Amino acid sequence: GGGGGGGYNGRYKKVHASFSTRTFAPTLQDLIDAVTKAGGIWTTSHTGQTAGWFEEWSRKAGEACLLIVIFVTAYKDRFTPALKMEADEIDRLHREKGTPVYLFEEGHQGSQVLSNMIDGSKVMGDYPAWRRFCDDASNLVDPNAPAVAVAVAVAAP
């Protein structure tokens, strides 16, 4: 019951996320809008990794009713040690506390997250494939490394 400003009063109140800082802004906004429509509160502020960032991120992840990983090209192409730390904490919370995890993958829409939240779905996306990606050390990227330059050999005339 209760009136008010509309929106679905869902079971997932606090929603925390892990994503690359290079995630396409409209994708992120679509997701935040879906969480809000489902009655959730998006607890992930778009901050850089300042001192103490992981403690704060982990605290919010631990309080969350739902964790979302934006597992798209930007995440895969720039899988930094920071994202790996977040991934391992998400996996721990999922295994130890049963916190639901949604993998928002290429081609997904916010509306899918909305309907899954309303349905109370415990999982979205291919969790085992995400963990395999995270556990493969060859996917890690040094965030401080210069951009990869492609050398082009030019034959002398």
What pLDDT was estimated at residue 99? Answer: 96
pLDDT classification of 8: cutoffs 50, 70, 90: very low
Tens-digit pLDDT profile for residues 121-157: 998 999 999 999 999 999 999 888 766 555 455 566 6
Judged by DSSP in three states, 142 sits in coil
Q: Summarize the confidence of residues 25-35 as an average pLDDT.
A: 93
Residue 5: CB atoms within 10 A of its CB come to 4
pTM of the model: 0.84
C-beta atoms surrounding 49 within 10 Å = 14
Task: Round to whole Å and give the CA distance between 149 and 146.
Answer: 8
Query: Which tokens belong to 80?
Result: 């930094």
